[in-house]
Amino acid sequence: MKNSSYIAGFSFYVPESVLTNKDLEKLVDTNDEWIISRTGIRQRHIVSHQACSDLAYEASLKALERTCLKPEDITHIITATFTPDTYVPNAACIIMEKLGIRGIPAMDVNAACTGFIYGIELARGLCYVSPGAKVLLVASEVVTSRINMKDRSTSVIFADGAGACIISNQTFDDDVPSGCVQDVVLKADGSLGPLLTVKGGGSAHAMVPGQVVGDDFFVQMEGREVFKHAVRSMRDVSLEIMNRNSLTADDIDLFIPHQANIRIIEAVAKIMNIKDEKIFVNVQDYGNTSAASVPIALADAWEKGRIKPGYLALLVAFGGGFTWGATLIRF
Ligand SMILES: CC(C)(COP(=O)(O)OP(=O)(O)OC[C@H]1O[C@@H](n2cnc3c(N)ncnc32)[C@H](O)[C@@H]1OP(=O)(O)O)[C@@H](O)C(=O)NCCC(=O)NCCS
């Protein structure tokens, strides 16, 4: 049975406040040259007082506007995040309230930086069991809420932002730019979990009233090991989805990887023989915004005219858990 899903309304929002590498030099023992050469990041956007749902709300409004939909046309909300406003209520319920919608399912999915790709697959499933569904998929992260800005191994990398889209198994109006989700491959391996963690406050690391948070409240990362697994897993899942769709690197018009680190992106693209001009990179401007990274890159690529009708895009991500995944979208 044919199960086509369409994706439209590519949108993103980042907080106004910009933190440059020079700004970070004043906070922690680092320097602009080291950050650029090791990560490719020149600046990132960080919140002042906004929460996950505030960023998500702004990105979602744009996605609705770009698909000519009203909030009440939405049938499901999925939020991909590991930094929700609160554990309960979930971020999707808070976003729903901000959008003025009631009575539809609203859920969060936590697959760290792979959350958006996981969300696409969940949205496809919902469209399959509920034909006519219009799923708002929004990935939003205030990663800095779980970063110790004095820890230079993480504070130079992570940042805040949100990206949104609408997924449906019905085509959108002709004047609404959209793509067809052709395939999704998802993976996870819990044995690698200890390499990238945020433990504090979880039920295995419960806190008591008055307790001061420890280092484990913030992102803890074995950078070098994460780097190796990121390259391997993004390569493997990209090759798997290409092979099972009988594609070669020449068939991919645009490669949109998780914006974790320019060296990871270049290493994956090189092994896969993807030409430089087909790789979309904006890590220099936004840093690593976790689950929001891929939809921000997708929307940014769209706004910059990098996506043309007929193009085949390969989106791939990797994150804590570990989780990883890829999707193919034909525009
Ligand atoms: C974090 C990362 C940028 C560090 O780069 P690296 O090349 O592995 O650097 P290392 O940790 O080996 O450190 C190299 C040197 O730089 C120093 N260093 C580490 N962080 C630094 C910083 N922010 N500024 C300046 N120097 C730094 C180290 O102390 C070390 O110094 P030494 O050689 O004198 O001992 C890199 O490992 C990485 O990107 N990993 C993947 C992270 C990631 O993408 N996570 C998200 C996945 S979703």
Strands 323-330 and 312-319: antiparallel
Per residue in 39-98, pLDDT (tens digit) is 999 999 999 999 999 999 999 999 999 999 999 999 999 999 999 999 999 999 999 999
> Is 230 a pocket residue for ligand 1 (Cβ < 6 Å)?
yes
Sign of the dihedral through C-alpha 119, 120, 121, 127:
positive
Is 113 annotated as catalytic? Answer: yes
**52, 113, 127, 165: which is the annotated catalytic residue?**
113
Specify the residue with its C-alpha closest to ligand 1, atom 36: 223
> Is 227 a pocket residue for ligand 1 (Cβ < 6 Å)?
yes
Is 148 annotated as catalytic? Answer: no
Specify the residue with its C-alpha closest to ligand 1, atom 47: 319
pLDDT value, residue 174: 87
- DSSP letters of 312-325? EEEEEEEETTTEEE
**Which one of 23, 28, 38 would you pick to mutate in the ligand 1 pocket, going by the greatest count of ligand atoms within 8 A of its CB?**
38
Specify the residue with its C-alpha closest to ligand 1, atom 2: 223
- DSSP letters of 24-54? HHHHSS--HHHHHHHH---EEE--SS--HHH
| CA-wise closest residue to 296 among 256, 240, 329 | 256
CA distances from 23 to 142, 274, 314 (A): 19, 34, 34
Do 323 and 112 form a contact (C-beta atoms < 8 A)?
A: yes
Per residue in 112-137, pLDDT (tens digit) is 999 999 999 999 999 999 999 999 99
Classify residue 49 as exposed, middle or buried by CB count within 10 Å of its CB (0-12, 13-18, 19+): exposed
Beta carbons within 8 Å of 185's beta carbon, 6+ residues apart: 237, 240, 241, 244, 325, 326, 327
Q: Which amino acid is at 165?
A: C
CA distances from 184 to 137, 234, 267 (A): 15, 13, 22
Do 318 and 258 form a contact (C-beta atoms < 8 A)?
A: yes
Q: In the chain, what are the domains?
A: 5-177 (3.40.47.10), 179-330 (3.40.47.10)
Beta carbons within 8 Å of 33's beta carbon, 6+ residues apart: none
pLDDT value, residue 4: 87
pLDDT value, residue 2: 56
Q: How far apart are alpha carbons 46 and 158 in whole angstroms?
A: 9
**148, 258, 261, 282: which is the annotated catalytic residue?**
258
Q: 212: CA distance to ligand 1 center in Å?
A: 28
Segments of the chain with pLDDT less than 50: 1
**Which one of 224, 286, 322 would you pick to mutate in the ligand 1 pocket, going by the greatest count of ligand atoms within 8 A of its CB?**
224
pLDDT value, residue 1: 43
